[in-house]
Structure 1
């Protein structure tokens, strides 16, 4: 893989800037049938909960214009099943594993992080602050700085020292930058922006909501402008905080947009449902896009859209001579100048 694609998320060094988005790549076994997981910068697991969950009843998936609307309800085997069956297999795949965790209270997040201490292959923990929680009447922790910080603080306390903690946020906070700052102050080493956008679909035949849960999470290309706005906004406020940009990435140029907005790495999710072999293609396209713009590494592109007009990034492998001195006016013209 090209050295141009190496990047870092705080203390986490990645061979490539592409990660899976939580919940969009199964346990990893499904995706491994299409390409070697080692091509990824990291594999992000589905959100793991304390106890097994069956998820919401069907129908819980429907299509939307350029998007997918889902209300899965975080189905999964629970932390014990994950540690017994899924994590050992992932630990053998030569790919950093970012374990996404979700809970109904700050205490549950702390307990989940503690259960991952010493588990093989865990490179980082992603705290799904954007999942519904019982303590706040079905709202999401990430809508409020104080509740978001309480979850991150609990996870940080439970996690093994030195294990990076990422906070995954939703886009519908009144002041997203303030929520992001609260998470960083509480111990987050980086941020994942964004989770799905809440939406609803109505079946015009039954005249009822399409999903049994009424509302669900919108993902796919339709939300990319929203995700880019969030990454751009948070990077402007917290330029030194690593960001994983997620939302509607289908190509290398889509990934480049997130880097330019301020992300250091990019998550690929919904596109894997219809193109499970997309990762090698997107990486190749991104590498070509960086080379075409004379950018020698991912870091040269991160936040470039924030630079003032006329800013010239370092050019890979090119010695740029200093500008020549202005030419002296010639002959008669020189004499007429004041």
Structure 2
């Protein structure tokens, strides 16, 4: 039989989460963000999000795949194009592309397209990654509106710190200044802004990622526990071995855990090569046959060790939830000093995937 670890992708949960997002912003259009292979869920596994108004991603090959599978609604390339010749593909498949660099503008000026395309003009809002400086907005806007290859322009920005109220207020003020006196479409809000800083007076499109997959943009499950999201990914396995240890015995590489009293230990078929966080410490929550317990010792490449004190009936073959419906991915990520985003995207290709429709 196959190794027992498995990742279950719940398409019903994805559809449910989209409906929750829709209820939070009923008047706006939604970009369902499916970059990073749909946050590790598999781009081929998220068609239950088809009620969205558009898909946003990075790779032009994935955009073409969506079109060839019958997706007719908008597709946004979040990082834009990487070579001028990509514009021919964008034209052919009627994709929306982000524009964030002068060379991209020159490419649009110099190429002959069959049809004008929609663009998202990326302005650097303080992340200092991609985007034009805000002082250049007027000049660039006035240049782009006269390019024959452009159908329409949407202003795109990204808030770098939604926990800092003064920075959020500055962010909104900058938006007001940029669009003042213009009939300007905007895509401003991500998941965090949608939840905690409603910008409905600016947005026509919101870009939603992590909420669709049932985790929190803050990394704290408690922050979204009141909006009824459902985890879309469950990572589960089984106990494949049991050790009964005496006081003073040690567990794992580097003798990282010392047994303080006689203790039963379960060995689970899951390790960092499966995508479980390498730095998850002793105490990270785990569920065994419905009973809450925790990790002990160091995470190995292929196995973890867990305390079975609270699981007296646990045996070889007992079911283990690493994250999912009960053990929230945000809880595991927080214990390991990272985010749910990271764990989703780190799911290893060797982990089999089961789809719940």
TM over 0.5: no
Tell me which interval the TM-score lies in, with the shorter structure as reference length: 0.3 to 0.5
Q: In proportion to residue count, which structure has more strand?
A: 2
Q: In proportion to residue count, which structure has more helix?
A: 1
Scaled by the length of structure 2, what TM-score is found? 0.38
Scaled by the length of structure 1, what TM-score is found? 0.40
Q: Which has the larger radius of gyration?
A: 2
